[in-house]
Amino acid sequence: MGILKTIFNNTAEPRGFWGRLMARGMNSGHARQAIWGIGLMDIPAGARILDVGCGGGGNIARLLERDASCHVTGLDHSSVSVAESRALNANAVESGSCDVVQGGVQDLASLFPPASFDVVTAFETIYFWPDVQGCFRRVHDVLAPGGSLYVVNEEAVDTSSAHRWEGLIDGMSVYEPEDIVRMLRDAGFEDVSRTDETRRNWLCVRARRLR
């Protein structure tokens, strides 16, 4: 279990050799789910987008491919993920259409002014957020009025199976869809809706800051 736990813990914070492999693997392993989620997003032309927990940077690239007029900022607390994201999106970083910042979601208030973004995305990451409802409030604050947060996750349909991952990965918490919706509303979001892809066990929750 020791080596397995070491490997799986790199899903929360990639480090070293295993972390680089994990970050690159997540780019491909979660690609179909991410493409599905991005297809559900309402992203205005020229939007300022923040991808929280950007991992290996695959979703930064996908968001820029969808609309090159947008600016995407990637955020991750892992230095390995930041390096991988910058390398994968080197041309976009050089052209000024992408930034990658090292930091945690709990640090949003110190990293970005209020109302900095039109869209915030969170792919397969809220499992690892400390005080997830408090983090939702911080995301709410950096969104401009009218902006949206999109949470794209595996859906905890078989809760007994899903919660077993919590024993393998330190600091991981699995949330059922109803709990995510409730916490978003409690954090100040309005117009909260969800889309389920039950065949693949995927979930996309949209939450808007209306004012």
Percent of the chain with pLDDT over 90: 72
The CATH topology of domain 2-208 is Rossmann fold (3.40.50)
Q: How does residue 53 score in pLDDT terms, banded at 50, 70 and 90? A: very high
Contact yes or no for 20/81 (Cβ under 8 A): no
Residue type, 4: L
Q: Which residues of 163-179 are buried (b: 16+ CB within 10 A; e: fewer)?
A: eebeeebeebebbebee
Residue 157 pLDDT greater than 70, yes or no: no
Banded model confidence at residue 141, pLDDT cuts 50, 70, 90: very high
Q: What pTM value is reported for the model?
A: 0.87
Task: Name which of 34-38, 45-49, 90-94, 161-165 the model is least confident about.
Answer: 161-165
Question: What's the confidence (pLDDT) of residue 120?
Answer: 98
DSSP assignment letter at 129: -
Considering the chain, what is the average pLDDT of its residues? Answer: 87
In terms of pLDDT, which residue wins out, 94 or 9? 94
E-strand spans in the chain? 48-52, 71-76, 98-102, 117-123, 143-154, 190-197, 202-208
Closest to 209 measured CA to CA, from 193, 194, 190, 192:
190
Residue 202 to residue 128: CA distance in whole angstroms: 18
Cβ 127 vs Cβ 185: under 8 Å: no
pLDDT confidence bin for 20, thresholds 50/70/90: low
